[in-house]
Structure 1
Amino acid sequence: MSQRNRRVLVRAIDDISIEEVPVPRPGDNELLIRSTVIGVCGSDTHAALGRHPFIDLPYRPGHEVVGVVVAAGEGAEDFAPGTRVIIEPNLYCGQCAQCRSGRYNICRELKVFGCQTPGGMADFFTIPVDRVHRVPEAMSDLQAALVEPLATPVHAVAKTGDLTGRTVAVLGAGPIGLLVVAAARHAGAARIVATDLLETKRERAVRLGADSALPADAADLVAQAHAVLDGPADVVFDCVAREQSMAQAIDLVAKGGRVIVVGVGAPGPTPIRLDLVQDREIRIEGTLMYTSDDYRTALDLIASGSIGTDAIITATYPLEDAAQAFAASLQPEHVKVLITVTAP
C-alpha cells in the first residue's frame, strides 16, 4: 500500500491546503479506510468562514464519507478488506444519561468525526468499527454519499411522530431542506410547501416531493403557503435557522403545531415572538444529527430510488482541488458538492 496520505486542512475559507501525514494503523476495534467520496457539508463551509458555533479553526474536515476497508484491527475482523462502507460520525461516550437512553446523538461528551476530530477528507483514516455501515452492493458510491446528509432530515422528521395526513412547511431548499422534503413525503405528509430564494432550488424541491415551492422573500409568503396547505402547517422545519426564518415559522405554523429547528443557527441570541409561542401553544424543538435507526432508514430510502443523485449532487472535485470544492459549495446555485478520491 502506498504510504502517501493526503489530508485536507482548513485554516480559513481562503486558506485550505493539503497536508501529507502518515497512513494511520488501525487500533483494536478500529478500521483503516480508504476514502472514495466525501461530501462538503454546510457545516464545513460555516466552519471555514468562522461562523460555526461548535467547530474551531483550524480543522480537518470529512464527516460525510464513503470508503473501502483496507485493514481491520483486532476485534474488527467482521469487515473484510474491500468492503464498501459509510461512516456514522457521531463519537459518543456511551455512559451518560443520554447515551444510556439511546439518544447518543446528544451525548454529553459528543464529538463529531471531521468536526472536533480529524476527519475523512483524506486518502486514509481510521475510525471505530461501530461507526461504520456497509454499503449495499447495488448502491453506487454517489448514492451512498447522500446517506449521511439524509439521516439528519430522517431524524428531524421522526421527531414529529406520525406525519401521515399532516401538512408541512420546509424553510430553505439547500441540501438539508431538499432532503427534509423527501423524508417528509416518504413519511406520509399530505401536503408540503417549501421556500427558497433561488428558483432552481425551488424547482428541485418540487422534484423531490413538495407540492409547491415559494420565494422565501415574498411579501405574502405566509398567505401563499397557507393557501397551498389549506391552512397553517402542522409542522414547520426551519432549515435556515435565522431570525427571519424563525419569524416566518411562527407565522406559518398552526396553533398547537411544532417548529423543528434543523439548520445550525448563528452564535448568539435569535429573537422570536414568545407571546405567540405561548398564546398558540407552539412547540419549538431542536434536532441534532441522527442515530443508527435513522441511518438504516436513510439507506433504505436511497436504495429505493426515491431520491436521484442528479436532484442533489451538482458538482464533484478531486481531493487535490478541495479548496475549489469549498468555494463551489458557497455558490447559491450548488446543492451538494462532493470530493472524489482516486485510489493511490
Structure 2
Amino acid sequence: MTARAEGNPATVTQQIRRVLVRSIDDITIERVPAPVPGDHELLVRTKVVGVCGSDTHAAAGHHPFIGLPYRPGHEAVGVVAATGRGAGAFAPGDRVIVEPNLYCGTCAQCRSGRYNICRDLKVFGCQTPGAMTDLFTIAADRVHRVPEGMSDVEAALVEPLATPVHAVAKAGDLTGRSVAVLGAGPIGLLTLLAARHAGATRIAVTDPLEGKRKRALRLGADAALPADAPALVAQANAALSGPADVIFDCVAREQSMAQATDLVAKGGHIVVVGVGAAGTTPIRLDLIQDRELRIEGTLMYTDEDYRTAMSLIASGTVDTGEIVTATYALEDAAEAFAASTDPQHVKVLVTVDGP
C-alpha cells in the first residue's frame, strides 16, 4: 500500500490525540499512533466536529445502540491529509464532510438504495472510532466534498441537517400542509427548517423551555407552545387551524408519542425522528386504528439527503448563529459534552487545530 500525503510524510506516523468517552463524567484525551489509510481510504485531518444528542445520550449510558466506552465524532469536517491506493479523485488538501453510515452494500436494504437501514449498519464515531481526533481514516466513498464557499462551521451542520431532511422526505409532499414538531433541540429546530423548505404552510413547535420556544419562533415557526401545557391540544389546533397533518416527534418518549396521537389529524402521519429509549413505549392502538394513523420511524439519511442539506445550507436557509451556540477546542472535549447537556445550547462544536 502506498499513500499520497500532504506536506511532510511524517504527518501520517506521528502520535495523535483522540477523545475517549467512558461516561459523561469521564471524558479524556488518549494519545495513539496516527492511522495510515488503506486501499480506497482517506486519511483526514479533522477541522470541526459536532457533539450530537446521540453522543451525550451514549455518554450518559442511555443510548440503545452505542456502548461504552466509545470514541465519538460523526458530525465531521476535515481536510484530506493522505490517500490510499484506489481512493478515487480525492487529493491531499481537499475539504470533505463525513457521511458516517457504514453499510454492507449487499443486503436487501442496501441493494434497494436504503443503505441507511442496512441490516449490518454501523456508524462511524458510534460503533467505530470517530473524528473527534487529530487524524482519522475513512473509506473514500463515505465523504462528500465541501461545496465551494461553504465555511467549516456551515459544513459541520450538513450531517445534523440531513437527518431532518430525510425525515421530512419520509412524510411525503408537505406543500400546503400543517406540521407540528415536538421538541426544539437541534434536530427539532432543523426539522422546522426542513419542513418549511418542503412547503409546509403552518408549523407549530413544542418544548417545555421558553428559551427554546423563542428560538423556534426566530427560526420561522408560526407558533411555539409549552409542551407541558394542559391545553396543548387546543392551543396547537388554534395555531394550526385544526389538527396537524404531520407530526415530527423529535423527543421519542411515551409522553411525546401520546401527544402526537392527540395532535395529529385523522388519517395523519407521525414520523418518529428522535432516538427512543430502550424497551417498550405504550401507545394508543385504539386511536391509531380508529383514526387510520400512520406511524413511521426514520433513521439517518442517504447521499440524496446530504445533497439537499448542502443545498439548503448554501442557500442561507440555516441561520448558523441560531444553531451553533458554543465552540470548544479538542482538549476541552469534556467541557463540550457538558455544554451539550445544557438545554440552553443547541449545537456545540469541537474545533481541531492539529496535534
Q: Normalising TM by the smaller chain, what interval?
A: over 0.9
- The residue number in structure 2 matching 1:166 is 177
Secondary structure in structure 2 of the residue aligned to 1:21: strand
For 1:15-30, what aligned pairs fall within 5 Å after superposition?
A: 15-30=26-41
Could you tell me whether the CA contact under 8 Å between 2:162 and 2:301 is conserved in 1? yes
| 1:64 counterpart residue number | 75
Residue number among 29, 40, 43 corresponding to 2:54 in the alignment: 43
Structure 1, 287-296 or 203-212: larger mean CA deviation: 203-212
Match of 2:6 in 1: none
Say which of 100, 108, 118 aligns to 2:119: 108
Q: Tell me, what secondary structure is at the counterpart of 2:292? A: coil
Cα RMSD of the aligned pairs, angstroms, is 0.7
Classify the secondary structure of the residue corresponding to 2:311. Answer: helix
The 3-state SS of whatever aligns with 1:189 is coil
| Equivalent in the alignment of 1:222 | 233
Q: How much has 1:210 moved relative to structure 2?
A: 1.0
* Deviation for aligned residue 1:161: 1.0
Mind listing any 5+ residue stretches in structure 1 that lack a counterpart? none
Amino acid at match of 2:262: D
| Deviation at residue 198 of structure 1 after TM alignment | 1.3
Match of residue 137, structure 2, among 112, 126, 133: 126
Q: How far apart in 2 are the matches of 1:165 and 1:257? A: 14
The alignment status of 1:313 with 2:328, answered yes or no, reads: no
Tell me which of 235, 238, 245 is aligned to 2:256.
245
Tell me the residue number matched to 2:149: 138
Name which of 262, 274, 279 aligns with 1:268: 279
Is 1:13 the counterpart of 2:18 in the alignment? no
Cα separation, 2, equivalents of 1:161 and 1:75: 38
Is 2:269 the partner of 1:254? no
Moved over 3 A (4+): none
Given candidates 139, 149, 170, the residue that maps to 2:160 is 149
Give the TM-score normalised by the residue count of structure 2: 0.96
Which residue is equivalent to 1:294? 305
Matched, 1:53 2:58: no
Partner of 2:102: 91
Residues in 2 aligned to 1:312 and 1:4: alpha-carbon distance in whole angstroms: 33
Match of 2:224 among 213, 224, 235: 213
Q: Is 1:179 equivalent to 2:186 in the alignment?
A: no
Q: Following the alignment from structure 1 to structure 2, what is the Cα–Cα distance between the partners of residues 102 and 77?
A: 21
Identity %, equivalent residues? 77
Query: 89, 97, 120: which one pairs with 1:78?
Result: 89
User: Residue 3 of structure 2 corresponds to which residue in structure 1?
Assistant: none
Residue identity in the other structure for 1:294: D
2:221 equivalent to 1:197: no
Counterparts of 1:233 and 1:90, CA distance in 2: 32
- 1:146 and 1:81 map into 2 onto residues whose CA distance is 23
> Any idea what SS the aligned residue of 2:257 has?
helix
Q: Per the alignment, in what secondary structure is the counterpart of residue 94 of structure 1?
A: coil
Report the TM-score when normalising by structure 1: 0.99
- Residue 209 (structure 1) shift: 2.2
Supply the distance in 2 between the matched residues of 1:81 and 1:56 (Cα, whole angstroms). 34
Classify the secondary structure of the residue corresponding to 2:217: helix
- Aligned position for 2:242: 231
Residue 77 of structure 1 deviates from its aligned partner by 4.3
Distance in 1, matches of 2:143 and 2:218, equals 31
Q: Aligned partner of 1:288: which letter?
A: L
* Alignment partners' CA distance in 2, 1:99 and 1:150: 22
How far apart, in 2, do the equivalents of 1:119 and 1:4 lie?
Answer: 16
Matched, 1:33 2:14: no
* Structure 2 unaligned residues grouped into runs of 5+: 1-9
What secondary structure, in the 3-state scheme, does the structure 1 residue paired with 2:113 have? Answer: coil
